[in-house]
Amino acid sequence: MENPPDLNNISSTINDFLLLLVYLIPVALIWFGRVYVRRRASARHAEILRENQEAGLTEPASLHPLVDRDLCIGCNACAKACPEEKVLAIIHDKVELINPTKCIGHGACASACPVNAITLVFGTEKRGLDIPAVDPNFESNVPGIFIAGELGGMGLIRNAIEQGRQAMISIKKKADAKKGNAYDVVIIGAGPAGFSASLFALENKMRSVTVEQESLGGTVAHYPRGKIVMTAPVQLPMVGKVRFRETTKETLLTFWENAAKDTGVKINYGERMEAITPKGSGFEVKTTKGSYQTSTILLAIGRRGTPRKLNVPGEEQNKVMYRLIDPEQYKGKHVLIVGGGDSALEAAHSIADEPGSTVTLSYRSAAFSRAKVKNRDKVQQYDAEGKLKVLMNSNVKEILADKVVIEQEGQKIILPNDAVIVSAGGIVPTPLLKSIGIEVETKFGTT
């Protein structure tokens, strides 16, 4: 006769099973919840990427991450490390660059990746990026000409400031060894790198001059109003540790302006460099206001270079500008905006919000192919509501004192006009670099 089952063991087994269920059910619910949330987020990220691809916003401006999908484990550490908003994000368990044009080359993503799945590169397979060749001391192949900041592919403010300082350490050593020139260094550009370099030169009692074709801040001054900038503390010569982590463009520019006043650093604004030629033991730098004999040169100009012009009659008038500074100054005026990118669309709808303004947006193509969806939608909404007028497939033919002549699909349109803002981008200074003998390499997604 078989032994009867041990009821105590059965009861214990059932209790153990029930305890296991009590543990596993919440774990399963949490796991399924996370999977659901992650899939929802993945769908949102995929939609952001799709919108940017449709808008043509697929080319990073400078240094950016290239993700090896075979190595990526989808841990999201890189996206969390990025100081910008939604540049990297997970789609289908792998990280993607969903907002390429927002990437500022910070590089924190590569450092944060635990499996080394990210490489920082310049350019893409479709669009090459011209990068001048420089050595570790920031000296180009032309001895005595140094390059720092955005022109060298480093758009991040903190890195540009540090490059300007480090380049000047090398420049000082070289300039000390050269004699017979009026200046030790001519600094061209007063953006983050150029401003840092100018302060270094003053602090170290170097014979220097800084020329800037526009205003303090360089490319930073062209950022949209209220844009958040500066993502890490940095050492600024004569000023010390700048502890900004997140601040607005306006606050940062005000800080720099105060630093310039407090230190007494001199910068020649409204003076554009026109030519660089070897002369004697150094170089002659010709500008729109004079010429300078110098031992060394620091090129700290932006990649945007000189604003792209329309090259039409009347463009030389004072009412023609190449960037929007303050929408309020156009209150009650007839304004023409030319261009189809984000800067043009943002200028158009911001000026249209000013009381009494009349805004016309002229673009040569049939669609705004390189503008963010939110800007396109806002301009289309304002156009439909009559707050501004959009002229697609149109070109400016002439700018007169109180009017503009526009051609649209064979028809001439004459509009009253008080101001013109041309937002057609800038001319990349590659020809300038090549003309003075600096070697330029086109990077197609390489380091």
Q: Where are the beta strands (DSSP E) in 318-381?
A: 320-321, 334-338, 358-362
96 assigned to some structural domain: yes
My answer on whether 290 and 403 are in the same domain is no
377 assigned to some structural domain: yes
Specify the number of domains making up the chain: 3
My answer on whether 232 and 261 are in the same domain is yes
pLDDT score at 28: 66
pLDDT score at 157: 79
Query: Among candidates 339, 348, 337, which has minimal Cα distance to 370?
Result: 339
Alpha carbon distance 372, 366 (integer Å): 16
List per-residue pLDDT tens for the chain, 447 residues long: 455 656 566 666 766 666 776 777 776 666 666 665 567 778 888 888 888 777 677 777 677 889 998 999 988 899 888 877 788 888 888 888 888 877 766 678 888 999 999 998 887 777 777 778 888 889 999 999 999 987 777 667 778 888 899 999 999 998 887 777 899 999 999 988 999 999 999 999 999 999 998 888 877 776 656 666 655 677 889 988 887 766 777 888 888 899 999 999 999 998 989 999 999 889 999 999 999 999 999 999 877 666 788 999 999 999 999 888 788 899 999 999 999 888 899 999 999 999 999 999 999 988 886 777 788 889 999 999 999 999 999 999 999 999 999 999 999 999 999 999 998 877 777 888 888 898 888 777 777
My answer on whether 295 and 326 are in the same domain is no
Alpha carbon distance 315, 401 (integer Å): 10
Question: For residue 39, what is the domain's CATH number?
Answer: 3.30.70.20
My answer on whether 155 and 117 are in the same domain is no
DSSP letters, 139-167, are BBSSTTEEE-GGGGT---HHHHHHHHHHH
Question: 326 CB contacts (<8 Å, ≥6 apart)?
Answer: 225
13 assigned to some structural domain: no
My answer on whether 79 and 149 are in the same domain is no
My answer on whether 149 and 298 are in the same domain is yes
Q: Which of 121, 143, 163 is the last residue of a domain?
A: 121
Count H helices and E strands in the chain, helices first.
9, 27
Q: Which of 121, 146, 165 is the last residue of a domain?
A: 121
Q: Where are the beta strands (DSSP E) in 281-437?
A: 282-287, 291-299, 306-307, 320-321, 334-338, 358-362, 389-391, 394-399, 403-408, 411-416, 419-422, 426-427
Residue 287 pairs with which residues in a beta bridge? 273
My answer on whether 97 and 151 are in the same domain is no
Question: 423 with 339: CB under 8 angstroms?
Answer: yes
310 assigned to some structural domain: no
Q: Which domain holds residue 156?
A: 130-305+429-443
225 assigned to some structural domain: yes
**Residues 146-167 as b or e (16 or more Cβ within 10 Å = b):** bbbbbbbbbbbbbbbbbbbbbb
301 assigned to some structural domain: yes
Q: Which of 121, 138, 159 is the last residue of a domain?
A: 121
My answer on whether 247 and 360 are in the same domain is no
Indicate the pairing of strand 291-299 with strand 208-212: unpaired
395 by DSSP, 3-state: which?
A: strand
Instruction: Say what the alpha-carbon torsion angle 155, 158, 160, 165 is, to the nearest 10 degrees.
Output: 180
My answer on whether 85 and 219 are in the same domain is no
My answer on whether 157 and 94 are in the same domain is no
In one-letter notation, the amino acid at residue 416 is: P
Question: For residue 218, what is the domain's CATH number?
Answer: 3.50.50.60
My answer on whether 206 and 100 are in the same domain is no
1 assigned to some structural domain: no
Alpha carbon distance 148, 282 (integer Å): 19
Alpha carbon distance 372, 422 (integer Å): 19
My answer on whether 178 and 297 are in the same domain is yes
DSSP letters, 73-116, are ----HHHHH-SSSSSEEEETTEEEE--GGG-----HHHHH-TT-
pLDDT score at 36: 58
314 assigned to some structural domain: no
Terminal Cα-to-Cα distance of the chain (whole angstroms): 81
Question: 364 CB contacts (<8 Å, ≥6 apart)?
Answer: 340, 393, 394, 395
pLDDT score at 31: 62
Q: What Å distances lie between residue 5 and 9, 11, 16, 17, 18, CA to CA?
A: 8, 11, 18, 18, 20
Give the pair of three-digit tokens for residue 285. Answer: 């730098």
Place of tokens 């893409």: 124
Alpha carbon distance 166, 146 (integer Å): 11
pLDDT score at 229: 66
